[in-house]
């Protein structure tokens, strides 16, 4: 299957197994006829991404927002094209926006992939610790969780009576060229656990269900790192 249902309103529509091997996960939120994408992958398989979205019964024209978790290339390389193709608004933390709008290939880690990122505008720049985003009569909360990168965000919402957390790069890594901060990262891991989510949608390790499983997964990175952006 080229997409994975997570709830009746949330789907995994992109990633290594469903769009392109270098892509981080791409998630689709569909609330009452209005939609948002969480992250954009590298952008090398957008035709397949759009097919996967359509297979969920969702029209591209319904996508209002591209919710960016952080600036790294495997999450944002496709953002410029998606914004142009769909006409959606991009949302990111202001600390990430700077590197995306200038097309910085080092801080975005595009260099790690032997590629270059296309600069694009961030339509909504967030700066508060938490910001509520309205979509289809429901709320998605953007929460600043620095560490992996200065402006990393997670998104929290409710679907089918469950708290769903989009925490794309829980695992890190931490690297000087990414402007990572270990102290912030550790505090952010604790913050993620405190959110008490029922479902975690991660960027490279898939979907975790159940509070205990999510806590164990997050705690596994308290003293370890894996080099996957």
**Could you give phi then psi for residue 123, rounded to 5 degrees?**
-75, -35
Domain at 130, CATH number: 3.60.15.10
Predicted confidence (pLDDT) per residue in 75-103, tens digit = 999 999 999 999 999 999 999 999 999 99
- 227 domain-assigned: no
Q: Would you call 2 helix, strand, or coil by DSSP? A: coil
Q: Do residues 76 and 95 make contact, with C-beta atoms less than 8 angstroms apart? A: no
Instruction: Name which of 155, 117, 196, 188 is nearest 26 in CA terms.
Output: 155
Measured from the Cβ of residue 49, the count of other Cβ atoms closer than 10 Å reads 30
pLDDT in the model for residue 227: 44
- 228 domain-assigned: no
Q: Is the pLDDT of residue 134 over 80?
A: yes
Q: Would you call 149 helix, strand, or coil by DSSP? A: coil
**Number of folded domains in the chain?**
1
CA–CA separation, 43 and 26 (whole Å): 11
- Report the percent of the chain where pLDDT is more than 70: 97
| Token duo for residue 196 | 């008490």
pLDDT in the model for residue 172: 84
The reported pTM is 0.95
Q: pLDDT class for 171, splitting at 50, 70, 90?
A: confident
- 229 domain-assigned: no
**Could you give phi then psi for residue 16, rounded to 5 degrees?**
-55, -35
Average pLDDT for 194-203:
97
Q: Share the mean pLDDT of the chain.
A: 95
| Token duo for residue 36 | 């948002």
Tell me which residue range forms the domain holding 186: 4-219
């Amino acid at each position: 299957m080229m997409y994975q249902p997570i709830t009746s309103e949330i789907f995994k529509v992109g990633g290594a197994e469903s769009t392109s091997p270098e892509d981080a996960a791409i998630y689709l939120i569909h609330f009452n006829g209005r939609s948002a994408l969480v992250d954009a992958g590298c952008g090398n398989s957008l035709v397949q991404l759009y097919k996967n979205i359509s297979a969920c019964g969702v029209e591209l024209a319904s996508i209002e927002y591209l919710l960016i978790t952080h600036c790294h290339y495997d999450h944002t390389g496709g953002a410029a094209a998606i914004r142009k193709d769909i006409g959606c608004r991009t949302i990111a933390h202001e600390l990430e926006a700077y590197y995306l709008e200038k097309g910085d290939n080092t801080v975005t880690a595009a260099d790690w992939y032997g590629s270059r990122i296309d600069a694009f505008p961030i339509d909504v720049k967030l700066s508060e610790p938490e910001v509520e985003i309205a979509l289809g009569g429901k709320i998605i909360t953007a929460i600043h969780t620095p560490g992996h990168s200065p402006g990393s965000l997670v998104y929290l919402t409710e679907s089918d009576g469950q708290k769903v957390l989009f925490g794309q790069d829980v695992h890190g890594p931490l690297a000087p060229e990414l402007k990572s901060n270990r102290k912030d990262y550790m505090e952010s891991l604790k913050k993620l656990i405190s959110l008490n989510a029922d479902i975690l949608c991660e960027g490279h390790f898939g979907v975790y269900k159940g509070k205990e499983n999510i806590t164990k997964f997050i705690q596994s990175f308290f003293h370890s790192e894996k080099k996957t952006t």
